[in-house]
Amino acid sequence: MSDSISNKTASLAALSSHASLARAWQLPTLFAQDKQRFHDFSLEAAGLFLDYSKNHIDATTVSLLTEFAHSCRLEQRRDAMFKGEPVNATEQRPALHTLLRAPAEQRFELDGEVLSNDVQQVLDRMGQLSQRVRSGEWLGFTGKVITDVVNIGIGGSDLGPAMACAALRPFIKPGLRAHFLSNVDGHAIDAVLADLSPETTLFIVASKSFTTQETLINARVAREWFLNKGKTADLAKHFVAVSTNAKAVAEFGIDTANMLPFWDWVGGRYSVWSAIGLSVAIAVGMDNFRAFLAGAHAMDTHFRKSPLEQNMPVMLGLLGWWYRQYFGSASHLIAPYHEDLRLFPVHLQQVDMESNGKRVTNAGIPITSPTAPVIWGSTGTNGQHAYFQMLHQGTDLVPVDFIAAINPSHDRANQQHTLLANCFAQAEALMVGHQKDERSGHEGEALAEFRVLPGNRPSNTLLMDKLTPTSLGALLALYEHKTFVQGVLWDINSFDQWGVERGKTLAARILPELEGKTSSHTHDGSTAGLIARTLQKKR
């Protein structure tokens, strides 16, 4: 047995033994025993503050967890990612999304190519295009300014930009509206187009290969909708592309001068920092988009240089792994107490579950422990009146990340105080619970057990001074790196997504059957039955 495997085995054994003790700990007791607990278990980085004191940990836990991270060679694998080594081993690609947000003066060369120059050139082109739209220089085919921008993409080409535009709502240029279209369901494009005018709408078709089925179906419908008013020659004034397939883009009718590229070392779920973020740059302006990149870079620097025990992404990753491995936590809740972050949990679902929802190690060996938890959530006060009941009194242990901004972008102080009071109270209630009421009378005794909240439920609280482009960039980069950390701990490739491809392959077989072009008897009984019933009932 090699030294690294031996160290990892010994570290896991120590953690397993320690976890059997930690599961019996009561969080309120830990606070009573250590008046410095909040101070000792909190971190500040890149404008974010993390309180992780409400967790089933002590100093020994942190030491054991970081020792395990060392045994997994976390620092070396982190450095390999930043250096551009092919950490996406199954596709033999680097994962260089961090390069997209590096400052212009930071030169990066890989295999003789200065990639940093390419990145800056695309950013400059994004800035020029976005400024033309925002200034009113870009005119539609009837000479009217653009008032609506529709991003047509799916997955990472949709979730990241949609989340960022929602989060940065106060920074969007007045009179300019951003829309996002991803679902191949025709009801989705009907809803988007219903309130738009072809004269004042700009479409961004975001597909690296320009062959993505869902994106091209929606793009063609949008093209047909536009041509009901405009001419083929007018398409170039209302459609731009984020792609690398110049031939297909030109055949669609898009001027390739308005085609922005990105690279195969940028995974879809990490692509909002690239030209995929064009809709964001148009909506909030290039200065704000660059501030978004700068916030992420600040977190990159912290992640790259800070010791593990003082490293915010590392600690979040270790804590999530701790609960998944030893506490049976099958899901993790993201609870932003900020309406503009309502799409943040949705984006993190892809970042986390598409990255770490894997069943084999980097060596192709089946994993015996659980991997990615289910990521879910919505805005906080809404959740309190929906699923928080389960958090407080249900039988599953669900770790929670509470996210809040201390200062709002509005001037309604009372509402902000109420919002933060609810955020802090829910974290406190999850921890301290509520014991039996000491009420007299038959009714009090009969209901006493129903009122009990066991407490002892873990959570993290992330605070920022205010939700800005910079703090949003840091927040998103924090969770990207947390996901990477957990992938290292599970020894899996966080950058491929073979499971997504299988469904696409089968859908391509079924589609012509539903269209009546072919017939097949190779499906299972259920799928064959569903196809047959659909063909029988469709109008």
Read out DSSP for 374-406?
Answer: EEE---HHHHHTTTHHHHHHSSS---EEEEEEE
d(CA 511, CA 500): 17
Q: Write down the catalytic residue from 35, 187, 247, 385.
A: 385
Torsion angle of alpha carbons 306, 312, 318, 322, nearest 10°? 150
- Cβ neighbours for 419, distance < 8 A, ≥ 6 positions apart: 337, 338, 380, 381, 404, 408
Read out DSSP for 143-183?
Answer: SPBP-EEEEE--THHHHHHHHHHHHTGGGSPTT-EEEEE--
d(CA 296, CA 473): 4
Task: State whether the Cα torsion 396-401-406-410 is positive or negative.
Answer: negative
Catalytic, 385? Answer yes
Tokens 């949709």 -> residue: 158
Catalytic, 436? Answer no
Q: Residue 205 is inside which H or E element, if any? A: strand 201-206
Nearest alpha-carbon partner for 51 in 442, 331, 443, 402: 402
For residue 290, CA distances in Å to 264, 381, 401 come to 22, 31, 27
Catalytic, 504? Answer yes
Q: Write down the catalytic residue from 214, 354, 480, 513.
A: 354
Q: Encoding tokens for residue 282?
A: 């148009």
Contact 148, 196 (CB under 8 A): yes
Name the residues annotated as catalytic: 354, 385, 504
